[in-house]
Structure 1
Amino acid sequence: MSTAPETPQQAQPKIGPNDILRFFLELFAFVSLGIWGFMAFPLPWPGVLIGLGAPLLAIVAWALFMSPKAVFRIDPFGKALVEIAIFSAAAIGWWMLGQPVVAVVFAVVAAVSGIINGRKELAG
């Protein structure tokens, strides 16, 4: 009779509704920056360059500073600045495209979600 050694279960991070919302806000911001780049600038150049470069730059910044496995560990205030820069750029992009309702709704939802996340991060 062989029994496998018991391994302690790793603590799984708790994922709440705001974490799911934040994930979709991130994706929306990255896609928004791409749409803005392609639509706000003449094609093929610089539209293609900005349409691909803006979301790529935002994704790299998010990966370096904001992801759970971030390369650079920064304090919650630094994380907030990175998040505000990316989400504000996406909202401004929608505003420049003549979509103020999308810009304002996205900015308000992102701000409320960010405040909730920041309070949780500072409390924990």
Structure 2
Amino acid sequence: MSSPERPRITALDVLRLLSEIVAVAILLIWGFVAWPFAWNILFGLLAPALAILVWALFVSPKAVFAVHPFVRALVELLVFLSATMALWDLGLGWGGLVFGVAAVVIGVLHGRRALA
């Protein structure tokens, strides 16, 4: 019996996963910090949950909906943009800019590799 071939995990895959985790963590922190009590619980739980749901539906390797690669890239950019804007809203504009640029570079490199 031959074993099924396992996909090769690269450093770029690890960086992409880390950028996704950081984006969800940023949205979680933003939801709990940027809003007054009662609203902070709602936004603190719903913002990252919505990002995870959208990611699972359209972008993840086992996505529920098979969409065109450009739609996947757009959804990925929207998740990263929301995390970047959350940092900006928290008064961490430079942190948002650094995260946004890093996430876009990682996404572009990963997308180019996937399309090749």
Shared fold per TM-score greater than 0.5 = yes
TM-score where L is the length of structure 2: 0.96
Q: Which has the larger radius of gyration?
A: 1
TM-score where L is the length of structure 1: 0.90
Tell me, in whole angstroms, the C-alpha distance in 1 between the residues paired with 2:37 and 2:30.
Answer: 12
1:19 to 13, 30, 40: 13
Greater percentage in helix: 2
Q: For residue 95 of structure 1, report the CA deviation from its aligned partner.
A: 0.6
Tell me, in whole angstroms, the C-alpha distance in 2 between the residues paired with 1:105 and 1:94.
Answer: 10
Runs of 5+ in structure 1 lacking a partner?
1-6
1:69 and 2:87 equivalent? no
Summarize deviations over 1:14-54 as a string: whole Å, max 9, x none: 1111100010100000010011111111112x111011000
Runs of 5+ in structure 2 lacking a partner?
none
Kept after mapping to 2: 8 A contact 1:76/1:121: no
Percent of residue pairs identical = 46
Tell me, in whole angstroms, the C-alpha distance in 2 between the residues paired with 1:71 and 1:115.
Answer: 22
Tell me, in whole angstroms, the C-alpha distance in 2 between the residues paired with 1:110 and 1:67.
Answer: 15
1:118 to 101, 111, 116: 111
Q: For residue 118 of structure 1, report the CA deviation from its aligned partner.
A: 1.2
Tell me, in whole angstroms, the C-alpha distance in 2 between the residues paired with 1:58 and 1:33.
Answer: 8
Aligned residues: 116
Q: For residue 83 of structure 1, report the CA deviation from its aligned partner.
A: 0.3
